[in-house]
Chain A
Amino acid sequence: MSELLLEARGLVKRFRSQSLLRGSHETRALDGVDLQIRVGEVLAVIGESGSGKTTLGKVLLRLTPATAGEIRFGGNDLRALRGKALRLKRREFQMVFQNQRANLHPKMTVRQMLDESLRLHRPKLDAEGRAEHIGGLLERVGLSAKAEQRPESLSGGERRRVGLARILATQPKLIVADEPTSGLDAAIKLQIIDLLRRLKESSMTYMLISHDLGLVRRIADRVVVMLKGRIIEEIPAERLGDPRHHPYTARLMRAAHLSEDHASQGPSVIEVGVGGEQRHGGCVYAADCPVARERGLLTRCRQERPEPVALGPGHWVACFASADPIEEEP
């Protein structure tokens, strides 16, 4: 196995919101997350809306401070870095934000943005070298004709590609791509997928946040499943669909399957609602878990936090019922 690029341990991120009516309210966006990313792999993070995927990406790249936990990036303790040291480190990891407007300065043209990135990340290039490089980058993302445009006159897919081009300009060691295909129509989606694939071929390491299982299957090497701020399963991408999935993942897969049948064009997008308040003691799925009820595990599931149980190479689930495989419903 290749060498570790990033390792996180016990990450916690709490958001506190004040509201006049409800008083102070706390969200545990990350509730004790352990994660490793190896050089050259594509790690997918899946999970429903609000499960903490974006927060995980931002915390890992120090875009939001973690409440607790440890992050090591290429041997450095990331949380301890400050000021200039942190800024220099930032060049080694980049994030493609979920909100595509967000990546781009509204008042700069595509060329200006790329030029600025190159100035910052490749200070040795002269103006001519930069111009040449910009040409290459634009070609790579298929935007050669849009160099002089500003974000407002670009489509969602084009904005994403500018964001990617900008990130490619920096030659980062790690890219976190947050929902790179959401909200795009099928054709543009394919362009992005194609681009992500080529990135993978050039052995770029990235973390792909997505609830698009089709995309995940096509690109990822390894998948982690998040629910309410925790990672509840890790599995090699080619084993998605394994009968021994975590009960929540199993439900996700079924939901995705259904939506694939219904809307046969394009990859499936998962979205299953999980109700109930967050419980910090027990399993985050306890309130909705059919398996817990079937097997009479509910009391334990509500009180104890399930630890990861290894099921095979690169596959574990955090579930008390995982000792015996869970049968897929027909």
Chain B
Amino acid sequence: MGGRAERIAFWGSGAIVALVIAIGLVSPLIGYDPAAAVDYEQKLLGPGAGHWLGTDAQGRDVAMRLMKGTEAFFLPGLMAAGIATMAGALLGAIAGYAEGWGRTLVVGFLQLVDTLPRLIFIILVCTILNPSITLIAGVAGVLFIPSIATVIRRKVEALGSEDYILAHVAHGFSTTRILLYHILWLQARPLLIRQATYVFGYVLFVETALSYLGDYGVQEPTPSWGNMVAQTRELGGASAWPWVFPAVAIAVTIAAFLAFGNLLARRDEEAIR
């Protein structure tokens, strides 16, 4: 399987994902002082030689802020994806394989968290604690644990009654190895890839939504794609240059991550089938 269109989509989305990751990795190495960047004489310029993507209302270079803005979601997104997939996989495996009170406890926790509406809960946390984006991402990661755990649990339950898994028990492998390697790594990897990229995209979305909704997330003058777009509120219709590039970046990045996660998972499924 995997026609030409799918191949193009895979490499296209993969290139965007790679670019975002590269920028996210390099950006912290480049010094940037948002206060020093203010230059009202250069404000609201369109794209041009000095400023490739133009400038914002305070005359700051949009390209630079776009790059530095990746820091707002890059590590938090990775962290959230890590928390959600690792804890989700582990708890899902326990819920699907273990018996007795361990399972009851885990299932209870998952059901409890699962009742929380994600975005509303995050906004609630923000209004009460006004936390850093790192903490918000952590909360987002935790909120994704149940859905990932459920998918993994179903997989584990289905495989747990398969004869070949019984054969692995019979062969003398430990439960830990069967769960972590034979089931999670060999059979549920595509599922986890898909979920991880989804959670990463979600953190970017949340950061944007929070910046747009109110004074949460990453605050001016530190740049984030979300607070760059939020400038539309102050600008009115004066100029589109400050926000159009971050808006496009957000949409393209989220789409690319979701698509790449899916396509990568599909490839993985085919490769290891």
User: Which residues from chain A sit less than 8 Å from chain B, CB to CB?
Assistant: 61, 63, 87-88, 90-91, 94-95, 97, 99, 101-108, 117, 120-121, 152, 166, 170
Chain B residues closer than 8 Å to A103, beta-carbon distance? 164, 167
Asked whether A107 and B170 contact (CB < 8 A) given A102-B163, A102-B164, the answer is no
What would 18 more interface pairs be, CB under 8 Å, given A63-B170, A117-B171?
A63-B169, A90-B169, A90-B171, A90-B172, A95-B170, A97-B163, A102-B163, A102-B164, A103-B164, A104-B167, A105-B186, A106-B273, A107-B272, A107-B273, A120-B171, A120-B172, A166-B171, A170-B171
Bound CA span A95–B168, Å: 10
B111-130 near A? 1/0 per residue, CB < 8 Å:
00000000000000000000
Bound CA span A128–B257, Å: 41
Mostly, the A contact residues are mixed
Chain A residues closer than 8 Å to B166, beta-carbon distance? 63, 97, 102
Chain B residues closer than 8 Å to A97, beta-carbon distance? 163, 166-167
Residue in B163, B166, B169, B171 with the greatest tally of chain A CB atoms within 10 Å: B171
Chain A residues closer than 8 Å to B162, beta-carbon distance? 102
Asked whether A101 and B164 contact (CB < 8 A) given A106-B273, A107-B186, A107-B272, the answer is yes
Q: Are A94 and B171 in contact (CB under 8 A)?
A: yes
Chain B residues closer than 8 Å to A120, beta-carbon distance? 171-173
Q: Are B170 and A90 in contact (CB under 8 A)?
A: yes
Chain A residues closer than 8 Å to B208, beta-carbon distance? none
Bound CA span A278–B171, Å: 34
Number of chain B residues close to chain A: CB under 8 A? 17
Mostly, the B contact residues are helix
Chain B residues closer than 8 Å to A104, beta-carbon distance? 164, 167
Rounded to whole Å, the gap between the CB of A131 and the closest CB of chain B is 20
Chain B residues closer than 8 Å to A95, beta-carbon distance? 167, 170
Chain B residues closer than 8 Å to A170, beta-carbon distance? 171-172
User: Which residues from chain B sit less than 8 Å from chain A, CB to CB?
Assistant: 162-164, 166-174, 182, 186-187, 272-273
Q: Are B273 and A152 in contact (CB under 8 A)?
A: yes
Q: Are B172 and A105 in contact (CB under 8 A)?
A: no
Q: Are B172 and A121 in contact (CB under 8 A)?
A: yes
Asked whether A107 and B187 contact (CB < 8 A) given A99-B163, A102-B163, A102-B166, the answer is yes
Closest 9 CB pairs of A and B: A102-B163, A90-B172, A91-B172, A107-B272, A107-B186, A102-B164, A103-B167, A63-B170, A99-B163
Chain A residues closer than 8 Å to B182, beta-carbon distance? 105
Residue in A104, A107, A166 with the greatest tally of chain B CB atoms within 10 Å: A107
17 residue pairs of the A-B complex, CB under 8 angstroms, read A63-B169, A87-B174, A90-B169, A90-B170, A91-B172, A95-B170, A97-B163, A97-B166, A102-B162, A103-B167, A104-B167, A107-B186, A107-B272, A107-B273, A117-B171, A120-B171, A121-B172
Q: Are B170 and A61 in contact (CB under 8 A)?
A: yes
Residue of A nearest to B164 (CB): A102
Bound CA span A104–B164, Å: 6
Rounded to whole Å, the gap between the CB of B157 and the closest CB of chain A is 17
Residue of A nearest to B166 (CB): A63
Residue of B nearest to A108 (CB): B186
Rounded to whole Å, the gap between the CB of A228 and the closest CB of chain B is 24
Residue of B nearest to A98 (CB): B163
Chain B residues closer than 8 Å to A94, beta-carbon distance? 170-171
Chain B residues closer than 8 Å to A88, beta-carbon distance? 172
Bound CA span A117–B167, Å: 12
Residue in A105, A120, A152, A170 with the greatest tally of chain B CB atoms within 10 Å: A105
Residue of B nearest to A63 (CB): B170
Chain B residues closer than 8 Å to A99, beta-carbon distance? 163
Rounded to whole Å, the gap between the CB of B222 and the closest CB of chain A is 45
Bound CA span A101–B187, Å: 16
Chain A residues closer than 8 Å to B168, beta-carbon distance? 105
Residue of A nearest to B273 (CB): A107
Bound CA span A106–B186, Å: 9
Bound CA span A231–B174, Å: 34
Bound CA span A91–B170, Å: 8
Bound CA span A310–B162, Å: 42
Residue in A94, A103, A152 with the greatest tally of chain B CB atoms within 10 Å: A103
Residue of B nearest to A89 (CB): B172
Rounded to whole Å, the gap between the CB of B73 and the closest CB of chain A is 34
Q: Are B164 and A105 in contact (CB under 8 A)?
A: yes
Chain A residues closer than 8 Å to B272, beta-carbon distance? 107
Rounded to whole Å, the gap between the CB of A203 and the closest CB of chain B is 22
Rounded to whole Å, the gap between the CB of A117 and the closest CB of chain B is 7
Rounded to whole Å, the gap between the CB of A111 and the closest CB of chain B is 15
